[in-house]
Structure 1
Amino acid sequence: MGLLEDKSRARLFYKYLSTVYDRVNPFIWNEEMRAEALELLDLDPDDRVLDVGCGTGFGTEGLLQYTDDVHGLDQSIHQMEKAFEKFGRTDEVNFYRGDAERLPFADDSFDAVWSSGSIEYWPNPVDALAEFRRVVRPGGPVLVVGPNYPSSTVFQRLADAIMLFYDEAEADRMFAEAGFPDVEHVTMGPTYNPEIAITTLARAPE
């Protein structure tokens, strides 16, 4: 388990990162990548969508281009405070402080679930993905963006020491164990590394 796959350490990390997150984020996860992922999710205007690990609201902002019914959840109050400054606490988005592995929502509560830049901090990603399956309606889409496993042995060792990086085979395993029978993957990234992120789209069983 990587250093930041510990919830208390991840919260402390984001306490300080939150002050510069929106300036650093575009170098790793930019608007073009977000737009490509949102097209995969294929939302309808009346869809009720959950953004897990919403952070400062970068993904949330993109979701609001497709639907007005967006709900954001994060464990870091420091990150969420930045999101409150953009959207208010309950004005444009309903925000919740909570844990991806124990979502505070009833079964079948959402038409779609989105999570970008969060899975790498989950100690038990299969548990979180199973929660996504539980709270999304049957047949509803679930989209997760995470860090693609590097090809270099040196960077692999560094990645393993920090947080969860994974490839398509590992994504297949995690989603299958969480109850998603069919998934598809798209790699994306900025021009300097077009495969830095792995985006996985799944649908809850009917």
Structure 2
Amino acid sequence: MGILEDKSNARLFYKYLSKVYDRVNRFNWSEEMRAEALSWLEFGADPTVLDVGCGTGFGTEGLLEHADDVHGLDQSVHQMEKAFEKFGKRDRVNFYRGDAERLPFRDDTFDVVWSSGSIEYWPNPVEGLRELHRVAKPGGQVLVVGPDYPHNPILQRVADAIMLFYDADEADRMFEAAGYEEFEHHIQRATPQSPRAITTVARVPGGDGSDAAGSDADPAAPDAE
């Protein structure tokens, strides 16, 4: 387990990274990559959308181009404060402080569940993927972006010491263990010199996937913050 897969270390890391995150993030996860990932999703009419590990709201901003009912969750209050500056706390987006491995939402709530740049910090990624599956509606979609495992042996040792990096084979194992039956992986890259991202788009079993529609019900479970 990498040093940043410890939740307390990750919170401390983002306390300082949040100050410059939006400036450095675009070299690894660009607007063009975000737009491409969004094009692989089917939002339907009036979708209810969740951004897990929303951070400063980079993914959230893209989701707002496709949905009005958007919810964001992150464990780092410092990251979310940057998102509050963009969207307000309860204006365009409903924000929650919480853990990806214990989502404070009811089952079968969201038409689309998005998570970009978060899974690499989860100590138990399969449990986190199960949670994304649980809160997604039958027939809904889950999209997860993580760092692709490097090919260079030296970089592999560095990567393993820091956080979770994984290739398509490991992604297959994790998603299957989390209960997904239908998914596909895409490799994305901001520039030829940038690290690769592995983006997985999964369909939650049930439903026909063609009539994603939002709900006026409060998505939060009774114990949500």
- Greater CA deviation, 67-76 or 195-204? 195-204
- In the other structure, the counterpart of 1:72 is 72
Higher relative contact order, structure no. (Cα contacts within 8 Å, ≥ 6 residues apart): 2
Task: Please report the RMSD computed on the Cα atoms of aligned residues, expressed in angstroms.
Answer: 0.9
Cα deviation code 1:135-188 (max 9, x no counterpart): 000111000000000010010000000000000000010000000012100000
Residue pair 1:45, 1:68 contacting (<8 A) in 2 also: no
Distance 1:195 1:76, change over 3 A: closer
Structure 2 residue matching 1:140: 3-state secondary structure: strand
Separation in 1, partners of 2:119, 2:194: 19
- In the other structure, the counterpart of 1:134 is 134
**TM-score (ref. length: structure 1):** 0.98
Opposite residue 72 of structure 2, the aligned amino acid is G
Give unpaired runs (5+ residues) of structure 2. 207-225
- In the other structure, the counterpart of 1:60 is 60
Residue pair 2:28, 2:195 contacting (<8 A) in 1 also: no
For this pair of structures, how many residues does the alignment match?
A: 206
Residue pair 2:5, 2:121 contacting (<8 A) in 1 also: yes
Opposite residue 7 of structure 1, the aligned amino acid is K
Structure 2 residue matching 1:138: 3-state secondary structure: strand
Residue pair 2:71, 2:95 contacting (<8 A) in 1 also: yes
The share of aligned pairs that are identical, in percent, is 71
Cα deviation code 1:57-98 (max 9, x no counterpart): 000000000111110000000000000000000000000000
Cα deviation code 1:45-64 (max 9, x no counterpart): 41000000000000000000
Give unpaired runs (5+ residues) of structure 1. none
Opposite residue 113 of structure 2, the aligned amino acid is V
Distance 1:25 1:45, change over 3 A: farther
Opposite residue 100 of structure 2, the aligned amino acid is A
Separation in 2, partners of 1:195, 1:161: 16
Opposite residue 74 of structure 1, the aligned amino acid is D
**TM-score (ref. length: structure 2):** 0.90
